[in-house]
Structure formats: structure tokens, C-alpha cells
Amino acid sequence: MKVHMSLLAAVGATLATASIASAQIAAYSQDFESLDALSATALSADGWVVYVNVYNDAAKTSYAYGYVYGGAPNGTGDVSDIAAGEGGVDQGTQQMSVYSAYSNADHANGLYIETNVYREIAINSDNIGQTWTFTFDYKKGNLAGGSTAEAFIKTLDPNNGYATTNLIEHDTATSDLWQTGSISLDIDSGLVGQVFQIGVQNTATMYEDSGVFYDNINLVGTGGVCGIADVDGNGTLNLDDINIFAQAFVAGCDPSPPPGTNELVNGSFETPGIGFEPFDTWMLFGNVLADDNTEVTAQDGFRSCKMYGGFYGPGVQSDTGCFQDNIPVDENREYTLSGWTYMLSSDPLAPLDFADPDMNGSFGHLPLLICDFKDGSGTVLGTIQVNAFDVGIDPADTWVYKEVTGVAPEGSVTCQVTPLFIQFGDDPGSLFYDNISLESGDINAPCSIADMDANGVLNLDDINLFAQAFVAGCP
């Protein structure tokens, strides 16, 4: 997942006053089966706490205030509950349900209520060199409207007003079926003394539904003070590590496409189509044009893709875009969708407004990058998407990079990638797209636990590195 940096101290103050559960990051596992569903303190006693951030806008650029809610409640109808009967075979009987802090009266005032439910732990020097992975099952509940939900790993710096130093997120509002998510963070010496959090959050306004179910929460660390030879991550070097390394080496690399491979064809729009078609491979709809370094200089190569709306009248939505369909994917594998966009200051986009009375409805622009994961019959199982350009935030007259990462749901066979340009009303404005990519797996990720140098191949170098690290022992 992409690591986001933030200097907003107000947001970083999330749960700053809550107690830290441990002197260092430690493994954690919870399937909620053993918790008392009738106890009001079932979740809080397990270390789950709540902090609420409130914003004036959906983009969360204008911070209003925040407050400590306290321990995560159960059975109150606010923020969180232990639910029953929502799981599949892997989820068992009980799950955790998380939704908005509807007790906040500013829902009615149109403010955006971000509700965080999480556990937090201090980072110390023993965690240096470790990679901590947060895995979780999730399923959309009654979440609707403009509500959003994510799982996250976050670090906060108490010596800098609890500023957020890392925020890794996974969208959990995408599927009506149970999915498994996974995000990770490497711990370096610069994070010692900071606060490490794992949790989930949602953002809602006007009392819109926001519920998501979670289960099988796990936090597992690998590596650390014993180095790369400690392949089972237990802080010791022994025969188990040798056996695990040997078995993984013999098993070979993951046969899937190597990480970092772009699954799209003609992602930079360089190759023209047949006849009057501007781009090979891409299917087009709406107002889509090729720009051969005429209005803007392409981000990659000599050609980019220009889009603008249909001007259908006040409040009417116009969709313009292009797409590639039937792209093979592997279920349960992580994919990153990315791309670049360019807005001319001479032809700017308008901020999106869903309730402008003078325009008799919505107006403005919403550019997106979308990847729909599908099963063999073409049914969409899940979606990852990101704003391709944040109007009013991203700069004009320069290329802007965006990306989003997610896991292809179980049963996924193909996906469809769509750069989309939505216009509401008659606002003028255009956007250029270029260098669209769908990459499988983490870039430069190892192909196996035995891939000691993480270069995507297994060879004698990996054996030598393991042997050297094992002989060196734990400090």
C-alpha cells in the first residue's frame, strides 16, 4: 500500500490521550468468538478505543475539531457492536460491526464525522527492522450514500504534536461479500518512540448509513533484530528457520506475473487505433481526443488522452472515458492502479457541488481512475478507485500522479480499468490522462520468503545471504 505523509497535527492527534497498550509492537489476533456479546465493555476491554475527527468538507481539507470518545462501546447503537450471524465459514458466529458516531449532533449540520476505532502500541528499538502486517476480513454492511470506510496502519509522532507520520489505508467499502485485506509497515529507527496504530474508520454526514463488518483481525511481525535469516519472525535463529528457508527455496517463486508488470496494453496512449480511432486497445465513450503534444506535453512519450463533458444541461450528469476490459487477474492478489492527469489553468475544472440551488442540481467535475474486479460471468465483485484529480487541491499546468491499491476479491478472474471524467451541468473544463498502469503485487516485492535480496528470483545469492545472516546470529 502507498504510505501517505501528513503534517495536520489536528488529525495526527487521533487518540493521543489514550493509553498505550504495550511497551513495543506485539502480535495480536482476534476473531471475536470469545468476547461476551452482552457486555458493554467487550471491545474496550480488548483494547479497542475511539477517536472522532470532524471536518467541514468531504475532502477533509478543512478540520473543524476532534475529541476522545473513549473505549469502543458495545450494544449502545453508536460506533461499534459485536454482531452475530453476518459471517461465512471463515468468520464464525461473531464479528465486529463499526459505523459512525451518530451521537455527534453535527451530522445534522452537514459536517463530516470521521470515526476511528483502533488499538495503539508504542514503538521501541526492538521493533527496528521489523515489518508488521495487519490482516483483516471485511464486508460492507449498510454503508450507503457518500459514506466511506477504510482499515489503516498509522504512526504518530508525540514529539511533533502527534503529527501523522505514516498512514497506510485499505478501502473496506467496496464489497458485499467477505474479503481479506492486508497492509504492512516497515519499522526503521526514525519511528522509535512514536505511536503505532491499527484500526478501522468511517466517514459519514447527515446520518447516512456507514456500517462495515470486520473479523479475523491479525497483526504479525517479521524480521527485526535477528535479521533476514529469522524467516519465522520469532526473534530466534534455529533449525526451524533453516527448514522454512529450504522448503521455500525448493518451492520456487510465485508463478504469477512478476511484481511491477503493467497489465494494461497501450497505457500511455502512444499507439493509435485503426481508422479514426485515436487509441489502440482502449474502448471510448463521450468526448475523448488524442493530444500529440499540442495542448500539453505528454507525461510519457508524445501522446496523451484529453477528456471533456457533454454539456447536457443544469444538474445532468455526463460521462466521458475509455476502458480496457477482460484483463486477467489473480484472486486474492494485490493490485495498484495508477495514472497521471493534467489540468490547464486556461480550461479549469469546477469543484463538485451536489446541491447548488442556482444550477437546479449538481454541478462541477469528478475525474476518477477505476478498476472493477469481475468473476467469470462478468459480475463485478469489488472495485478500487481514486480521484484522478482533486479539483481545488491539485495544481494546474503540471502532471499530477494518483494511485490506489487493493486486493482482487476471491473469485476474481478479470478486471476492467476505466479512466472516467464526469461532468455535472454545463461547467466547462477538460482533463488530460496519461501513463495509466495496473501493476500486480508490491513493486520490487520478493517472490518468496526465500528471496533474501528481494529481486524477484531465487538463486545462489539468496542461499549465501541466508547463510551469512544465520551465522552472524542475533545481536
pLDDT band for 226, please (50, 70, 90 cuts).
low
Lowest mean pLDDT across 27-31, 97-101, 386-390, 397-401: 27-31
pLDDT band for 21, please (50, 70, 90 cuts).
very low
Residue 254 pLDDT greater than 90, yes or no: no
What pLDDT does 407 receive?
84
Residue 59 in contact with residue 148, Cβ under 8 Å? no
CA 333 to CA 327: how far, in whole Å?
A: 14
What pLDDT does 475 receive?
60
CA 299 to CA 307: how far, in whole Å?
A: 16
Residue 360 pLDDT greater than 80, yes or no: no
Residue type, 6: S
Express the helix, strand and coil content of the chain in percent, nearest 5 each: 10, 40, 50
Domains of the chain plus CATH, in order, are 9-223 (2.60.120.260), 283-440 (2.60.120.260)
What pLDDT does 361 receive?
53
Give me the long-range contacts of 465-469 (CB less than 8 A, separation at least 24).
465/228, 466/228, 466/229, 466/245, 469/227, 469/228, 469/229
* Per-residue exposure over 383-418, b if at least 16 CB sit within 10 Å of its own CB, e if not: bbbbbbbbbeebeeeebbebebbbbbbbebbbbbbb
CA 330 to CA 443: how far, in whole Å?
A: 16
Residue 458 pLDDT greater than 90, yes or no: no
Q: Count other C-beta atoms under 10 Å from residue 431's C-beta.
A: 25
What pLDDT does 2 receive?
30
Span 422-447, pLDDT tens digits = 998 888 999 999 999 998 865 345 66
Span 271-322, pLDDT tens digits = 999 888 899 999 999 999 999 999 999 999 999 999 999 998 887 889 999 9
Mean pLDDT score, 205-219: 95
What pLDDT does 315 receive?
75
241 backbone dihedrals φ, ψ, rounded to 5°: -65, -40
Residue 161 pLDDT greater than 90, yes or no: no
What pLDDT does 3 receive?
30
Residue type, 116: N
pLDDT band for 419, please (50, 70, 90 cuts).
very high
9 backbone dihedrals φ, ψ, rounded to 5°: -65, -30
What pLDDT does 223 receive?
63
Report residue 97 CA to chain centroid gap. Answer: 20
| Nine cell digits for residue 124 | 521501541
Dihedral-angle region of residue 259 (phi above 0 means left; psi in -120 to 50 means alpha; beta otherwise): beta
What pLDDT does 456 receive?
67
Span 104-138, pLDDT tens digits = 999 999 999 999 999 998 888 777 778 899 999 99
pLDDT band for 89, please (50, 70, 90 cuts).
confident
CA 67 to CA 81: how far, in whole Å?
A: 20
CA 379 to CA 234: how far, in whole Å?
A: 42
| Nine cell digits for residue 11 | 488529525
What pLDDT does 13 receive?
30
Mean pLDDT score, 224-235: 71
Where helices occur in 187-269 by DSSP H, the ranges are 239-251
CA 312 to CA 315: how far, in whole Å?
A: 8
CA 217 to CA 151: how far, in whole Å?
A: 11
CA 202 to CA 100: how far, in whole Å?
A: 6
Alpha-carbon separation of residue 370 from 184, 339, 458 (angstroms): 23, 11, 34
Residue 62 pLDDT greater than 70, yes or no: yes
Mean pLDDT of the chain: 86
Residue 321 in contact with residue 339, Cβ under 8 Å? no
Give me the long-range contacts of 31-35 (CB less than 8 A, separation at least 24).
31/91, 31/92, 31/94, 31/215, 31/216, 31/217, 32/82, 32/92, 32/94, 32/95, 32/96, 32/215, 33/92, 33/93, 33/94, 35/82, 35/94
Q: Between residues 91 and 407, which one has the greater pLDDT?
A: 91
What pLDDT does 20 receive?
36
Span 2-18, pLDDT tens digits = 332 222 222 233 223 33
Lowest mean pLDDT across 19-28, 95-104, 358-367: 19-28
